[in-house]
């Protein structure tokens, strides 16, 4: 054993399974070889790409004298992912790289030991190793290519904990994994998944770390300085304009949504700060506009906007997004062409809407020939030979798949409040009549117009008091959200809105039914008709009135869903936590490794949202009721947002949809048993929380470790104090002192990034793609008998109803957008999955725990399928009723109305 220690290094001997007390036979011929038993186990568990490991790497080590350490050869297998498509400049650069690689402009790696050299007090380093055969393999068309590099190390080198990479080529390349072979501890895995920039752009060596996690205080001496240097590089210095190749994470205000240089109508207020509080976004450092020094100049599509290089879409994701964007471009281009031929128009009948799916936009409108003649980009269409059947024809939304007329039914209208696109607004009614929280000094009398006589006929013989006591009354209340903005919204062209309240009753059969809709307008004078209550239809006229009222509720709901629950509560509020994680948590930190898959693509999709969705005159302003005031509504909601109520159990309790119950697995009990989002969500929440608890307690067996973890504390502190600076003084922020605190915070973040976002995002086209079911805006008020429009309404109520919905142009633009947003890409990673599932962590116990989590997720999927076949659950099973699959974890690519990705990736 002493001789082996001398040859290979004492630290390797002590940590290696090769040199247990039973390994006497092996010690007779000491070698640097990987563990074959361990290798087989990793291959069996592997589902993602990992660098190939040689079976035959066996180097016989001669016996050397004790005075001089042996020089040993080890090898790296490096997996590089090729670009599928290259532009002309990239192709030329790649060819040059292939030529110059042979004369020293190559890719150089160097191993860094976890140990310090006792003489120099610096980390031990290997010789430099060059990636071999780059020029020979440069033309391979495979998605992944393996290269090798060889190094010389002393027998006392110890265990490599980091590798530095220098790219002397002109082109960047994507480095997926590095696997080191030849050390006695077995193969060492370095999951990289990062772009390696050319040295000419970024002179410093890139640092990649082994998959073994370390808390800051447990960092081996040889890695401490590298750990700090890498974090410093990621933080930057807060100055300068960011280049697209940079990897710098920093904060900025939302001061780039407007474009005042193009006109005052495109100026928008800055979000963030005392006046208009908002979370922070990723800093780009662009110069200010010419007309407003506080507004950042814009980068308009299709030009790229900065996010750190590793946050950008991978190629398969970008291909999917570009095809979706191509559809959007064509759908937006068609309206502009149409407007040159004829004025925008209303749908003439429901058959016009149906034709968008059966015949396509151009064919139905007779514009296909004119389109091909006048389209400035005919090459776009030539890529799609059957364009009328593909690019310009919409898929039939899922809402029409079982019952084409289901959207007209009251029970379906109510069912979508608990199992549709937005199941987060419904709350249990605790007080009748409902009460506003707005300031009456500003908004006038705020008493509800709802009276007991409005709803008593629909309570199945109950009194209102009994219905409240027995948890039978529910409400979706948008009164306070919209009322402060209604005067301005209704002054916009093509926008008419009320502040709505909708009451629902849970019938004895377990089906939710709408029983009253309150419509409120600002109280502008003593004779103003500011409040109105409609109840279910009793004749033909009231039936159409009721359908119009439900459509106005849906338009309110679409705005709150998109701006508050979807954008604000998932996309925007998570961005600061992601920025802080990259800035303060080393890639070696176990919490970074836990969060990593749940941060994928979010900064990129948020950047694209600022560029084309939430910007001035963007999709949200064009297609949704609030128009140019959309982001101000989002900011208003942020002022009442609380992180401590974002977990699913806390949110359900806050809305009265559940009550605390310590006898239940999740600590709460639903008051409405058939609440698909709530019941399925609690399953997912429980699995996430159990997994996080196991993970946290593994690394933090004592809470003092959490309090003393400077990276962890800096991450949480910066997320709150910088990323959410406008709310940093609120006393509801959870503390981070114990393992339970950390479990709660991390479970909430993972829940929001995965299941919460999935429940809010992937049903947008399946439900909203049929505009009458879920109009994003309304263009007509509901007429009363003395109104000039009342006669038109009575004479042709269907025509009036369609004229109140979005126009043809508005509808097809909206449909194109939600089609993109509802699509899963081929490279989606779903809950319970990860890249390199068996090697993402070097801790075998944690890998095993992750596999148990994955198995639990698969069992949950089976249970949801069972529930969707249970006829007693009428909100998810029945004639014409869509199953609730939004929280089913897995999905195929495309629009499936199911699937829970790990992260906010679209």
Residues with a catalytic annotation lie at 566, 571, 757, 761, 906
Helices (H), 378-502: 378-382, 410-419, 440-443, 452-455, 464-469, 479-482, 486-490
Apex 430 CA angle, 425 and 436, nearest 5 = 65
885: helix, strand or coil? coil
* CA-wise closest residue to 578 among 598, 563, 593: 598
Residues counted in the chain = 906
* CA-wise closest residue to 678 among 886, 475, 881: 886
Do 559 and 624 meet the contact criterion of CB atoms below 8 Å apart? yes
For 568, other C-beta atoms within 10 Å of its C-beta total 21
Element (H, E) at 95: helix 88-100
* CA-wise closest residue to 850 among 866, 865, 831: 831
User: What are the beta bridge partners of residue 824?
Assistant: 894
Do 625 and 559 meet the contact criterion of CB atoms below 8 Å apart? yes
How far lies 149's CA from each of 74, 77, 133, 165, 209, in Å? 9, 7, 10, 12, 17
**Chain centroid to CA 421: how far?**
16
Query: Could you identify the residue written with the tokens 């879920």?
Result: 774
Do 594 and 513 meet the contact criterion of CB atoms below 8 Å apart? no
Distance of alpha carbon 593 from alpha carbon 840, whole angstroms: 8
Q: What is the DSSP letter of 566?
A: I
Do 117 and 158 meet the contact criterion of CB atoms below 8 Å apart? no
254: helix, strand or coil? strand
Helices (H), 796-900: 797-804, 808-821, 844-867
For 703, other C-beta atoms within 10 Å of its C-beta total 14
Element (H, E) at 550: helix 540-560
Distance of alpha carbon 227 from alpha carbon 795, whole angstroms: 75
Q: What are phi and psi of 895, to 5 degrees?
A: -95, 105
* CA-wise closest residue to 624 among 571, 564, 562, 553: 562
Query: Could you identify the residue written with the tokens 């809402």?
Result: 399
Q: Dihedral through CA 213, CA 719, CA 640, CA 499, nearest 10?
A: -80
Joined together, the tokens standing for residue 128 give 């430099």
Q: What are phi and psi of 451, to 5 degrees?
A: -125, 160
E runs forming strands in 449-578: 473-477, 499-506, 512-520, 531-534
Instruction: Please provide the distance, in angstroms rounded to a whole number, between the alpha carbons at the two ends of the chain.
Output: 56
Q: What is the DSSP string of 38-76?
A: HHHHHHHH--S------S---EEPPP--TTSPPEEEEEE
Element (H, E) at 577: helix 573-584
Helix count (H) and strand count (E) of the chain? 35, 19
Query: Could you identify the residue written with the tokens 């140990």?
Result: 115
Residues 6+ apart with CB under 8 A from 306: 242, 243, 244, 246, 282, 284, 285, 607
Distance of alpha carbon 637 from alpha carbon 616, whole angstroms: 19
Query: Could you identify the residue written with the tokens 């429009």?
Result: 789
């Amino acid at each position: 054993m002493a001789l082996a220690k001398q040859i290979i290094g004492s630290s390797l001997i002590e940590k290696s399974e090769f040199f247990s007390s039973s390994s006497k036979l092996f010690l007779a011929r000491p070698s640097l070889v990987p563990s074959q038993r361990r290798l087989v186990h990793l291959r069996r568990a592997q589902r993602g790409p990992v660098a190939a490991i040689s079976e035959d790497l066996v180097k016989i080590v001669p016996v050397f004298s004790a005075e001089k350490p042996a020089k040993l050869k080890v090898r790296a297998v490096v997996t590089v992912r090729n670009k599928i498509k290259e532009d002309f400049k990239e192709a030329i650069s790649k060819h040059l790289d292939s030529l110059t690689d042979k004369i020293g402009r190559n890719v150089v790696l160097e191993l860094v030991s976890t140990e310090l050299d006792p003489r120099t007090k610096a980390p031990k380093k290997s010789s430099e190793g060059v990636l071999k055969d780059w020029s020979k393999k440069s033309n391979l068309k495979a998605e992944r290519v393996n290269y090798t590099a060889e190094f010389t190390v002393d027998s006392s080198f110890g265990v490599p904990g980091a590798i530095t990479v220098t790219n002397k080529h002109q082109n960047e390349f994507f480095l997926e994994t590095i696997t080191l072979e030849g050390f006695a501890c077995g193969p060492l895995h370095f999951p990289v998944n990062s772009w390696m920039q050319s040295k000419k752009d970024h002179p410093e060596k890139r640092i990649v770390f082994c998959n073994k996690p370390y808390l800051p205080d447990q960092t081996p001496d040889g890695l401490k300085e590298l750990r700090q240097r890498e974090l410093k590089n990621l933080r930057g210095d807060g100055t300068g304009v960011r280049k697209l190749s940079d990897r710098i994470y920093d904060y900025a205000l939302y001061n780039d949504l407007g474009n005042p240089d193009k006109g005052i109508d495109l100026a928008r207020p800055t979000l963030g700060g005392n006046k208009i509080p908002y979370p922070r976004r990723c800093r780009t450092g662009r110069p200010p506009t010419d007309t407003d020094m506080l507004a950042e100049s814009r980068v308009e599509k299709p030009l790229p906007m900065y996010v750190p290089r590793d946050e950008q879409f991978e190629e398969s994701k970008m291909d999917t997004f570009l095809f979706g964007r191509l559809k959007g471009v064509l759908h937006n281009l068609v309206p502009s062409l149409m407007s040159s031929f004829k004025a925008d128009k209303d749908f003439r009948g429901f058959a016009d809407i149906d034709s968008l799916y059966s015949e396509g936009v151009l064919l139905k409108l007779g514009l296909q020939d004119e389109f091909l003649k006048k389209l400035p980009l005919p090459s776009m269409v030539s890529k799609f030979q059957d364009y009328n059947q593909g690019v310009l024809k919409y898929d039939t939304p899922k809402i029409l798949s079982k019952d084409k007329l289901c959207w007209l039914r009251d029970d379906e209208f109510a069912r979508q409040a608990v199992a549709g696109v937005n199941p987060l607004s419904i709350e249990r009614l605790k007080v009748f009549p409902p009460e506003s929280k707005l300031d009456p000094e500003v908004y006038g009398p705020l008493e509800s117009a709802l009276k007991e006589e409005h709803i008593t006929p629909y309570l199945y013989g109950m009194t209102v008091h009994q219905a409240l006591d027995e948890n039978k009354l529910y409400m979706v209340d948008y009164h306070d959200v919209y009322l402060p903005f209604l005067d301005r919204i209704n002054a916009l062209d093509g926008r008419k809105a009320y502040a709505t309240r909708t009451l629902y009753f849970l019938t004895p059969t377990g089906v939710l039914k709408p029983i009253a809709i309150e419509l409120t307008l600002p109280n502008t004078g003593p004779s103003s008709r500011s409040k109105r209550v409609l109840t279910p239809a009793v004749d033909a006229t009231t039936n159409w009135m009721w359908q119009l009222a439900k459509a106005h509720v849906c338009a309110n709901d679409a705005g709150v869903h998109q701006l508050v629950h979807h954008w604000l509560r998932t996309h925007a509020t998570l961005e600061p936590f992601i920025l802080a994680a990259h800035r303060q948590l080393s890639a070696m930190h176990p919490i970074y490794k836990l969060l990593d898959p749940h941060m994928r693509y979010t900064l990129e999709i948020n950047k694209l949202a600022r560029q084309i969705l939430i910007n001035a005159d963007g999709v949200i302003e064009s297609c949704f009721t609030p128009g140019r005031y959309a982001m101000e509504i989002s900011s208003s909601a942020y002022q009442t947002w609380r992180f401590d109520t974002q977990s699913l159990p806390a949110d359900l309790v806050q809305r009265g949809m559940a009550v605390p119950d310590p006898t239940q697995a999740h600590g709460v009990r639903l008051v409405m048993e058939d609440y698909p989002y709530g019941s399925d969500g609690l399953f997912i929440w429980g699995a996430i929380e159990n997994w996080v608890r196991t993970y946290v307690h593994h690394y933090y067996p004592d809470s003092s470790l959490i309090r003393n973890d400077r990276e962890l504390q800096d991450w949480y502190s910066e997320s709150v104090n910088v990323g959410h600076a406008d709310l940093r003084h609120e006393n509801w922020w959870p503390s981070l002192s114990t393992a339970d605190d950390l479990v709660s915070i991390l479970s909430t973040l993972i829940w929001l990034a995965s299941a919460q976002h999935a429940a809010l995002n992937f049903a947008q086209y399946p439900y909203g793609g049929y505009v009458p079911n879920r109009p994003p805006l309304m263009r007509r008020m509901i007429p009363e008998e003395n109104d000039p429009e009342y006669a038109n309404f009575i004479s042709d109520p269907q025509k009036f109803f369609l004229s109140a919905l979005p126009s043809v142009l508005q509808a097809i633009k909206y449909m194109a957008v939600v089609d993109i947003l509802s699509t899963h890409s081929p490279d989606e990673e779903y809950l319970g999955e990860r890249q390199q599932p068996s090697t993402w962590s070097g801790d075998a116990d944690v890998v095993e725990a992750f596999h148990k989590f994955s198995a639990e997720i698969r069992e949950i999927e089976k249970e949801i399928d069972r529930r969707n076949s249970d006829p007693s659950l009428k909100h998810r099973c029945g004639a014409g009723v869509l199953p609730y699959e939004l929280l089913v974890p897995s999905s195929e690519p495309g629009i499936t109305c199911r699937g829970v990705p790990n992260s906010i990736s679209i």
